[in-house]
Amino acid sequence: MNYKSIQTKVLIALVICLVLGTGCVVGLMHYFTVENSRGLATEAATGSQKLFTILEDREISKMTAVGDALIANAQIRDAFAAKDRDRLLALTAPLYPQLKSEGITNWMFHTPETDMTVFLRLHNPAKFGDHLNRLMDREVARTHGIVTANELARAGFALRVIRPVYDSKGAVTGYVELGEELAQFMRTMKAQTGNDYGLLLNKKFVDKQFWTDSSATLKRRNNWDDHAGFVVEGSTTGNERIIDFQGDLATIPKQGTVLEQYQEGNSHFVRGIFPIRDAAGNTVGAMFVVRDISDVYSSMKKTQNVLLVLTFVSLSGGILILLFLLNRFIFKRLERILTAATRLVGGDFETPIKTDSDDEVGKLEQLFEQFRNIFVSVLAEISSAQEKK
């Protein structure tokens, strides 16, 4: 290959254009694949956060209605007003299994201010008397109205509703509290979305000893030391990748954030996380969401491959057509001129240069033919002059 020829230089330039063009298409397709994956992750995170809020509102309404029904029961109300723990337990214990089956796992009665202690735990009747000083407790004591919020207790995260209980004279005799573990929200959310979820608790708001004791009671593995800043309360999958997080939960933006896309085997996933705040506005936990985008990702890759092939074929076809045109209208005609010039130098003065077009190369052919004719005339005059001598 003659690297000094224009034809070779043009060919090299066109091949470079082909490579660059194909590379640009590959880069753009990769960019769009990443952006689409990020969009799916954002959709999963924001959609799950909205669904979580909807579930919160629904469960608050349910627990509020249950609380209304409980305090409407005169026997329960009177037993609580009389501080007859045994009588209150006998009246309410048969109701607890039904409430638990509906997701209400926490049910407590509290004494009124100023001491405000746990009078009866239906989910753990043997434990009572501990003093309450949570923001929710202070708020319900201040307003004597219904207070609802997420609350991170010493051994778990729950959505809680606290309301006052009045005696027949309208005096506050204490408070009834109902709660649902947020971990069960994940199962409902997975059933509706197909995504997997993991619930993290900020260790700054969880009592280590209480967590250890409750783990033994619930016969679950004590995972307190698995992570530095948080503990995992629950997950809808056994895959530890779902809760891979190295940051500070307090830095998670209110609207949540996308983490990354990752691959396991032939499956592709995207992860997001959104914060969970308590009544005081503290980020006391966070919920991971993992979406399987294998089908969408496979479709995007197929589209990418098709576009890549079409781009390569189109560019290659364009280059071949361009080379054909260049060869047909320029290089062959230049070669013809070069051959005629070589013959002229070699003494062949009779071979004419044919002109096929009025384009730029055609004008060059015309000029070279005029030059040949002039050159032949000059030689003929010189020969004639020498013969006359």
Distance CA 146, CA 125 (A): 24
* CA distances in angstroms from 282 to 135, 277, 374, listed in the order given: 11, 5, 98
Q: Is the Cβ–Cβ distance between 270 and 290 less than 8 Å?
A: yes
In this prediction, residue 380 has a pLDDT band, given cuts at 50, 70 and 90, of confident
- Indicate the pTM of the whole model: 0.71
Count Cα neighbours of 287 within 13 Å in the Cβ-side half-sphere: 28
In this prediction, residue 155 has a pLDDT band, given cuts at 50, 70 and 90, of low
Where do the domains of the chain lie?
58-183, 188-296, 300-388
Distance CA 194, CA 209 (A): 35
Q: Give tens-digit pLDDT for 12-47.
A: 888 888 888 888 888 888 888 888 888 888 888 888
Q: What is the CA radius of gyration of the chain?
A: 42
Tell me yes or no: is domain 58-183 CATH 3.30.450.20.
Answer: yes
Give pLDDT, residue 153: 67
* CA distances in angstroms from 25 to 167, 301, 302, listed in the order given: 75, 13, 14
Q: Give tens-digit pLDDT for 326-337.
A: 887 777 877 777
Q: Give tens-digit pLDDT for 51-102.
A: 999 999 999 999 999 999 998 999 999 999 999 999 999 999 999 999 999 8
Q: Give tens-digit pLDDT for 240-281.
A: 777 777 778 888 888 888 888 888 888 888 888 999 888 778
Distance CA 380, CA 372 (A): 12
Coil, helix or strand for 383?
Answer: helix
Other C-beta atoms closer than 10 Å to the C-beta of 106 total 23
pLDDT at 4 over 70: no
Which of 71, 95, 78 lies closest to 146, judged by CA?
A: 71
Give pLDDT, residue 156: 67
Mean pLDDT of 208-234: 83
Query: What DSSP letter does each residue of 163-190 carry, written as one string?
Result: EEEE-TTS-EEEEEEEEEETHHHHHHHH
Which of 273, 244, 260, 223 lies closest to 48, judged by CA?
A: 273
Distance CA 163, CA 71 (A): 9
